[in-house]
Structure 1
């Protein structure tokens, strides 16, 4: 569909969302950015681009935590990102770990 109609808003939105759900965040961002070039005030594209950036941050912070599990910065920041996405259980877990590691951070 996109090959014939490069500026097809529905197809770009659907493909961008599919990429986002697959964890292909760079591809998703490219589609959401293209949508915003076509229609600068498109609120759904703005929201999805913001959500994709949060997910990219969570992925990077998770990778950081596989290297250093007690990284208080990564735990607290990832907890905040989860909270912004309304993923409360994971947010609560990360923030509790932060407090357990560094009680003065409470």
Structure 2
């Protein structure tokens, strides 16, 4: 599987991030380029070490959202997911509110 490579220079990485995130508030404003690189590395490690797992499926989905410029935004409501939540669970796709609603529906 080919993985898109991020630019190697910090300045060009920041430029790339600003130009490739679609939302008005770019992820580079809530997550630093270095944080995004660490998160991406964690996700790639999960995929490499556990390729057939549920975790790898979730990590691949997060990597795809990064490539499409939608990483860090809730897939349900479009709100920004907090940097702390992304750092704690890099593959998260839902904001806290939408996750709570989903959990309530599953418990019902």
* TM-score, normalized by the shorter chain, greater than 0.5: no
Larger Rg: 1
Looking at both structures, which has the greater relative contact order when contacts are Cα pairs under 8 Å and sequence separation is at least 6?
2
After TM superposition, the score normalised by the length of structure 1 is: 0.31
Structure having the higher helix fraction is: 1
After TM superposition, the score normalised by the length of structure 2 is: 0.31
